[in-house]
Structure 1
Amino acid sequence: MKLGQRPGRYTARFSRAATDIAAAQELRHLCFIKETGGVLRPNGRDADDFDDRCEHVLIHDSHDGKLVCCYRMLPLKGGGEINSSYSAQYYELDALNRYDGAMVEMGRFCIHPDVSDPNVLRVAWAAMTRYVDDHNVEMLFGCSSFQGTDSATYLDAFDMLAERHLAPKRWLPRVKAPKVFQFAKQRLQTRDRKMAMLRMPPMLKTYLIMGGWVSDHAVVDDHMNTMHVFTGLEISAIPPARARALRAVAG
């Protein structure tokens, strides 16, 4: 199935075979492990047990067929199922158990490091928009990763998150992972707002622009050589003009 029917250079579709998932796992290994200095996998794939439970979206360059982006989606009927999500391994999410709308965990999002065209991200979000509309999804969530585990590198970004983008108290994730950086308790002061946005991962930046929010702490993952924050987006919070633009791309 294709996701988004407008003609253009990039096309999004669901995986159709095991070879599609293998290609996505290889791209994830390149982006999340080789490029970040993580622990290399013997088979050159980033794979886990969640892959079998997820829908996988692949975005190809129609000029040469290259896989340029991928992500996976774990649909949940509501917050009562959230403790079966990938994120629940790292965050205590009992507050979200009360959420009664359909949810999707969006994970393992990556863009090939050789690709810098912003249209790839637009097509990725347009595909997600179509899925959200087709399945009446009310909340997206997942983990947004910063490369490396040195919190000092991202103090400007963490300052901005603490100042402007913390989760509502009713949904706020609690600490579960053994190694975290509790940036909201650091009494930090934003140093450079421009630098903060430059340091923000592109996916997280898009979440925030659309009204998303984050946990008050980052999980330090030495195995993947990343730090990540829980990220949530209630669909009703997306500004109408941005929603219309995404739907226009989705077709």
Structure 2
Amino acid sequence: MQTVLPNRDAFTEANGIAAQQECQSRPLGRIGSLEVRLAQHADEIAAAQEVRYRVFYDELGAKQDEAQALDRRDADRFDAICDHLLVVDTALPGPEHKRIVGTYRLLRQEKAVAAGGFYSEDEFELKELIARHPDQRFLELGRSCVLTEYRSKRTIEVLWQGIWAYVNRYDITVMAGCASFQGTDPAAHAEALSYLAHHCRSDGDWEIRAVPARYHRMDMKPADALDLKSALAAMPPLVKGYLRLGARIGDGCVIDEDFGTVDVFVVLPVQAISSRYINYYGSDAQRFAA
């Protein structure tokens, strides 16, 4: 009888896939009944796309094509190469993929390079920024959304638990991506955008600009005419959250007609994150990142 030996390459690949699936199924953070982890299969990615649709299209009025209107999903070509961070309310009834209440899309540099680029390259000169930092590992964050009834400090904190654990798991050194102001008129956000331009600009090796064809000035008011309190009050919570962590903002904003937003670019080197937040998320990150 001939003994048939297992194919070592196939065995290694199968074990690698199994290990990756096990890694993805582990929680990256937890507060009360809210748990944050990565999507494990197509049903969960589809459920995340449905949550995005409810927020971006039903609530905020983004433009949709016929396929999106039929499927009721926010989807594009980048979904296939991204990791999808999910906030799941474990106290809700039904299958797990129906308990998703928030999501964030994560695109690692190596996956973006293999696929031809990052999502935000259509709006900002991200390729040039990355070229100046060949020793860094970039992560693009995007499509952040949470269902209305879950927009609380607790949900934001569990999302950041997950992001911080993910950053540690994959040795990410720079987080970057677009953040949005609602509406397509930069002048409507003159106070906040001007504050960002005067006080929060990325500079030096970290400078990044909107692509020339889509560039709109942010410094619509002089620095000495700004009211700090009203400028901060006019900023979206996501932008304020990034600034608290130590992020800087690129030069120029971009109008996204499809989503009905004014976009700014956020750059956050991990080494720039305030020590208080490292200490706050650090212990959980080490526990969940393994």
User: For residues 71-220 of structure 1, what are the structure 2 equivalents within 5 Å?
Assistant: 71-77=104-110, 84-93=117-126, 94-99=128-133, 100-176=135-211, 178-184=213-219, 186-189=220-223, 190-220=225-255
Tell which deviates more after alignment, 76-85 or 163-172: 76-85
Q: Which has the higher helix share?
A: 2
Q: Which has the higher strand share?
A: 1
| Coordinate RMSD, CA, aligned | 2.3
- SS of corresponding position for 1:170: helix
Residue identity opposite 2:241 in structure 1: T
Measured against aligned partners, the alpha-carbon deviations of 1:200-229 in whole angstroms (never above 9, x if no partner) come to 122221111111011111110111101111
Distance 1:180 1:29, change over 3 A: farther
> Deviations 1:101-139 (Å, cap 9, x if unpaired)?
111111111111222321101010111101111111100
Residue aligning to 1:52: 80
Question: Is contact 2:125–2:210 with CA below 8 Å preserved after alignment?
Answer: yes
Identity of aligned residues (%): 30
Q: Which amino acid aligns with 2:203?
A: P
SS of alignment partner, residue 204 of structure 2: coil
Separation in structure 1 between the aligned mates of residue 28 and residue 105 of structure 2, nearest angstrom = 16
Instruction: Give the deviation of 1:4 after TM superposition.
Output: 3.1
**Mapped contact 2:102–2:147 kept (Cα < 8 A):** yes
What CA distance in whole angstroms lies between the structure 2 residues aligned with 1:9 and 1:34? Answer: 26
* 2:55 alignment partner in structure 1: 31
Q: Does the residue aligned with 2:226 lie in a helix, a strand or coil?
A: coil
How far did residue 249 of structure 1 move? 4.5
* Preserved contact between residue 245 and residue 277 of structure 2 (Cα < 8 Å): yes
In structure 2, relative to structure 1, the CA distance for the partners of 1:141 and 1:126 (3 Å cut) is: same
Deviates more, 1:78-87 or 1:149-158: 78-87
Query: Which residue number corresponds to residue 69 of structure 1?
Result: 102
Question: Which of 6, 27, 30 is equivalent to 1:3?
Answer: 27
List gaps (5 residues or longer) in structure 2.
Answer: 1-24, 94-98
**Shift of the alpha carbon at 1:89?**
1.4
Q: Check 1:177–1:60 CA distance in 2 against 1; reply closer, same or farther (3 A cut).
A: farther
Residues in 1 aligned to 2:45 and 2:111: alpha-carbon distance in whole angstroms: 26
Decide which of 22, 34, 54 is 2:46's aligned counterpart.
Answer: 22
Within the candidate set 262, 269, 274, 1:227 is matched to: 262
Shift of 1:98: 1.9
- How much has 1:187 moved relative to structure 2? 4.7
TM normalised by structure 2 equals 0.79
Return closer, same or farther for 1:81/1:166 CA change in 2, 3 Å cut-off: farther
TM-score normalised to the size of structure 1? 0.91
Residue 177 of structure 2 aligns to a residue in which SS?
strand
How far apart, in 2, do the equivalents of 1:81 and 1:166 lie?
Answer: 30
Gap change, CA 1:5 and 1:148, over 3 Å in 2: closer
Deviations, residues 45-71 of structure 1 (Å, cap 9, x unaligned): 111100001011110112215322101
Residue-pair matches, total:
250
Is the CA contact 1:177–1:219 (under 8 Å) kept in the aligned structure 2?
no
Unaligned runs of 5+ in 1: none
For residues 229 and 82 of structure 1, the distance between their equivalents in structure 2, rounded to whole angstroms, comes to 24
Q: Distance in 2 between matches of 1:231 and 1:52?
A: 23
Distance 1:243 1:120 in 2: 18
**Change over 3 Å in CA distance of 1:12–1:217 after alignment to 2:** same
Larger gyration radius, structure 1 or structure 2? 2
1:78-116 CA distance string (max 9 Å, x none): 998897111111112313312121111111111112223
